Amino acid sequence: MLINTGVTTAFDFEGPIEVIKQEIVKYGCGINVAVLEAIYPEDGIKSKNPPVEELKKIIKKNLDNGAIGIKILGGHYPLTPEATYNIFQITHQEKGYMGFHVGTTETGSNILGVKEAVKLSEGKPLHIAHVNAYCRGYIEDPLLELKIVMDILKKSPNIISESHLAIHNACYGGINENGVPRSYVLRNALRAKGYQVSKEGLEEALRVKYAGVYALRGSKMKYIYGDEAINYWKEHDYKVGICFPINRRRAAEVCVTERDNKGNFVVDAISSDAGAIPRNCILAHGLPLVRFCALTLSELVQKISLTPSRMLGLKNKGHLSIGADADITVFDPDNAKVEIVLIKGKVCMVSGIIFNNPGRLIVTQRGANRFKKQEIPLEVIDLEDSLFLKGKRGEDK
């Protein structure tokens, strides 16, 4: 799915790194992949407020195993503010990349979570994921929420951020022992439209097609609805991906186009927040913004290629010049159809035909040490060269 939509380098914001390591050579399609390992209760840690030593152990393990950093899924599976703060601190001490879907047990996946995230970061580097997702009108009027978030980011040069353009969100459809959806984001989506926050409420939302399931159909991931979605959800013991059409179009546009008083983009990049989720729509939704004159084509390229490369310190990516990596996507600007993808100068896809090239893991030297005896192609980066660590003012944090 990624290669067909023109992706040459993916920044996976969940992992697990162990699964990606096992699959990247056989199924990588030539794509470069960097990984943040997500940690949350029942997956890496035992509770919402684990002791510091438990956090140190799991963070060091993940960084040693090849992840370049850590992700907190706070909006879905919130930790206490104390645990969140400790993860920030430990990851920074270990020189890892820190990603955050905002929210703790005291706030949530909303503007309050954004305010809290900036406070907890204490000026240290932090990547706030999919900024548009915090402007759904859960706390204030959506337009006011947009202004609040933009103002926060303008005052926070230590914060790196991106937004995506898809109308659908994504969350886990699992149900806990009390009959309540595990994902707090899913709970919010049900509550927003007046559905019962329960297994029965989710089933009703699926029945009336407010909610959907993303599932493999043939060789592609697709959204399914109604009885088909309910049956799939139940057949898989509720452990499937769920979506709701709750990402506001105005939020998507503002997050892409808003600038500070120096003319710099407030939200640094455009992401897909997709991967296996069928919303890899960067070109399909980004090019209309160019035709709308909200962005120039060069600015779109800046937000989807150059700046993301700089975030990771990938000096040879994001530009066409002598010595660059020749990661190139050729597409039709009229319909956003991707025709050719080259990665490291190798043809990886032509007219929908995918060539069986191994993928490549992007790792730090710490992670590379783990792969000395494994036949996995690597690209080693130094996060000291990254926009993430340097900050937007070019100062080390």
User: Among the CATH numbers 3.20.20, 1.10.3470, 3.40.50, 3.10.450, which is that of 3-165+258-390?
Assistant: 3.20.20
What's the rounded Cα separation, in Å, for the pair 355 and 346? Answer: 9
What's the rounded Cα separation, in Å, for the pair 354 and 165? Answer: 26
Task: Tell me the per-residue pLDDT of 120-145, one tens digit each, with 9 for 90 and over.
Answer: 999 999 999 999 999 999 999 999 99
Task: Tell me the per-residue pLDDT of 205-214, one tens digit each, with 9 for 90 and over.
Answer: 999 999 999 9
What's the rounded Cα separation, in Å, for the pair 389 and 97? Answer: 8
In this predicted structure, the answer to whether residue 33 has a pLDDT above a threshold of 80 is yes
Name the residue ranges covered by the structural domains of the chain: 3-165+258-390, 168-246
Q: At what angle do helices 52-64 and 81-93 cross, to 10 degrees?
A: 40
In this predicted structure, the answer to whether residue 46 has a pLDDT above a threshold of 50 is yes
Task: Tell me the per-residue pLDDT of 195-254, one tens digit each, with 9 for 90 and over.
Answer: 999 999 999 999 999 999 999 998 889 999 999 999 999 999 999 999 999 999 999 999
Nearest to 355 by CA among 28, 42, 122, 108: 28
DSSP E strands, 8-96 = 9-12, 32-41, 44-45, 69-73
- What pLDDT, on a 0 to 100 scale, did the predictor assign at position 318? 93
- What pLDDT, on a 0 to 100 scale, did the predictor assign at position 275? 84
> What percent of the chain is modeled with pLDDT above 70?
99
In this predicted structure, the answer to whether residue 395 has a pLDDT above a threshold of 60 is no
- What pLDDT, on a 0 to 100 scale, did the predictor assign at position 396? 43
- What pLDDT, on a 0 to 100 scale, did the predictor assign at position 262? 95
Instruction: Report the mean per-residue pLDDT for the chain.
Output: 96
Task: Tell me the per-residue pLDDT of 145-196, one tens digit each, with 9 for 90 and over.
Answer: 999 999 999 999 999 999 999 999 999 999 999 999 999 999 999 999 999 9
307: Cα within 13 Å, side-chain hemisphere: 22
In this predicted structure, the answer to whether residue 393 has a pLDDT above a threshold of 70 is no
Task: Tell me the per-residue pLDDT of 110-122, one tens digit each, with 9 for 90 and over.
Answer: 999 999 999 999 9
What's the rounded Cα separation, in Å, for the pair 367 and 352? Answer: 33
What's the rounded Cα separation, in Å, for the pair 232 and 59? Answer: 35
Nearest to 105 by CA among 48, 151, 55: 48
Tokens of 315: 């000096």
Tokens of 280: 């890899």
The model carries a pTM of 0.96
> What percent of the chain is modeled with pLDDT above 90?
93
What's the rounded Cα separation, in Å, for the pair 72 and 74? Answer: 5
CB-based contacts of 19: which residues, under 8 Å, 6+ apart?
A: none
Task: Tell me the per-residue pLDDT of 296-305, one tens digit each, with 9 for 90 and over.
Answer: 999 999 999 9
Q: Do 1 and 220 meet the contact criterion of CB atoms below 8 Å apart?
A: yes
Task: Tell me the per-residue pLDDT of 49-92, one tens digit each, with 9 for 90 and over.
Answer: 999 999 999 999 999 999 999 999 999 999 999 999 999 999 99
In this predicted structure, the answer to whether residue 20 has a pLDDT above a threshold of 80 is yes
Question: What is the separation, in whole angstroms, between the first and last Cα of the chain?
Answer: 36
In this predicted structure, the answer to whether residue 11 has a pLDDT above a threshold of 80 is yes
